[in-house]
Amino acid sequence: MEIDEGGLTVTVPEARDGASEGTGGGIFFNPTQELNRDVTVAVLRAYRDREPRAASYLDAMAASGIRGVRAAAEGYDVTCADVDPDAVDLARKNLAENGLDGETVHRDVNALLYEHVFDVVDLDPYGTPMPFADPAFANARNLVCVTATDTAPLCGAHLNSGIRKYGAVPRNTDFHPEMGLRTLISALVRTAARYDKAARPIVSHVSRHYARTYLELESGAQAADRCIDELGYVDACEDCLWRESTRGLIADPVEECPECDGNRVLTAGPIWLGRTAEPAFARAVHEAVTDDMGEAKRARKLLETVAAEIDEPTHYDQHRLYKLWSESAIGIEEFVRTLREAGYEASRAHYRGTAVKTTASIPEMRAAVVDGGSI
């Protein structure tokens, strides 16, 4: 069937029953990932202003080739690769029917990456991206774009799978979208560091059932070491919601919560504790979203919130806080504004309507939004 996306017409496979979240077999097209693709195009536009020399783009798991087609329409020198010859034929057809130049390659992308260098490498696999991370970071020049759809392992819901795939201990916490994203970035940063490269996220988001991050590369052991210095651990109490982050690669798990003396404290890591986005670049990406994008409204709202998020590795759920306090909740915007007026950093989180990031502790939040004063 033909679909229109981003001002282009692309032939994609007919949707199958249950295919909206992917099956891992055959040529797959996921219509629910249009937001992901719209943001990708906006990132490519904004990145051209940041690094004008970035020209070549690899759509590493091309399938229908829709990502490659949209990148080619933005003027990138596109290569679409896939192990399925039917997918390669379809990507070639879609490029040609839109009057766009681009190379299509029937090849295992790991082998391809060890033979060729690309300025931008886009990994959008079914499930974990980690089997493709080593060659991507070894042979990408400027930017690696990564989607992970295996959110249960990333967030700690499938703990052993997360440990195996990501070389970390993710824990199933209240702030699981943040946990998943930071577990993913941690694994990618450590992979890049093996090649004496720093991989620093310049914009990231969690949407629906996936995490997406865009990592800019800088060569050099010292730069890689600076990224490693931004890894660490988070301790979180499941009872009173106390949490604390600590930089470093050697964990010192908390046995008892220092606030409530409870023993239900989870320690997760190593996760990424640095910024998951550069506010200025996120704003530039926001400006690069255009009305011909099918998810323009959602993309703008998402990027506006990402740009405004404070640099905190966890969030609090407002409803959970008010339940803990046995109080009636105020509006989320008023909640954030009140914390700011009390002198704390505070913002909403982009992935959940009731998620709040703040530098205030739980007693400080209660004093500000419930008691109307400071502690």
Sign of CA dihedral 254, 320, 346, 186: positive
* Statement: residue 124 has pLDDT above 90: yes
Please state, for a pLDDT cut of 90, what percent of the chain lies above it: 90
In this predicted structure, what is the pLDDT of residue 13? 82
pLDDT in tens, 46-56: 999 999 999 99
Whether the Cβ atoms of residue 260 and residue 220 lie closer than 8 Å to each other? no
CA-closest candidate to residue 69, choices 4, 143, 25: 4
Query: How far does the chain reach from its first CA to its final CA, in angstroms?
Result: 62
- pLDDT-based confidence at residue 19 (cuts at 50, 70, 90): very low
pTM: 0.94
* Statement: residue 116 has pLDDT above 60: yes
* Statement: residue 18 has pLDDT above 70: no
What is the three-state SS of 177-236?
HHHHHHHHHHHHHHHHHCCCEEEEEEEEEEECCEEEEEEEEEECHHHHHHHHCCEEEEEE
Sequence-separated (6 or more) residues with CB below 8 Å from residue 210: 33, 36, 147, 148, 149, 151
Cβ density class 256-282: b for 16+ within 10 Å, e for less: ebebeeeeebbbbbbbbbbbbbbeebb
| CATH architecture under which domain 316-369 falls | 2-Layer Sandwich (3.30)
- Domain residue extents for the chain: 2-308, 316-369
pLDDT in tens, 177-221: 999 999 999 999 999 999 999 999 999 999 988 999 999 999 999
In this predicted structure, what is the pLDDT of residue 371? 85
What is the three-state SS of the chain?
CEEEECCEEEECCCCCCCHHHCCCCCCCCCHHHHHHHHHHHHHHHHHHHHCCCCCEEEECCCCCCHHHHHHHHCCCEEEEEECCHHHHHHHHHHHHHCCCCCEEEECCHHHHHCCCCEEEEEECCCCCCHHHHHHHHHHEEEEEEEEECCHHHHHCCCHHHHHHHHCCECCCCCCHHHHHHHHHHHHHHHHHHCCCEEEEEEEEEEECCEEEEEEEEEECHHHHHHHHCCEEEEEEECCCCCEEEEECCCCCCCCCCCCCCCCCEEEEEEEECCCCCCHHHHHHHHHHCCCCCCCHHHHHHHHHHHHHCCCCCCCEEHHHHHHHHCCCCCCHHHHHHHHHHCCCCEEECCCCCCEEEECCCHHHHHHHHCCCCCC
Q: Which residue has the tokens 């979203």?
A: 289
* Statement: residue 17 has pLDDT above 50: no
Fold of 2-308: Rossmann fold (3.40.50)
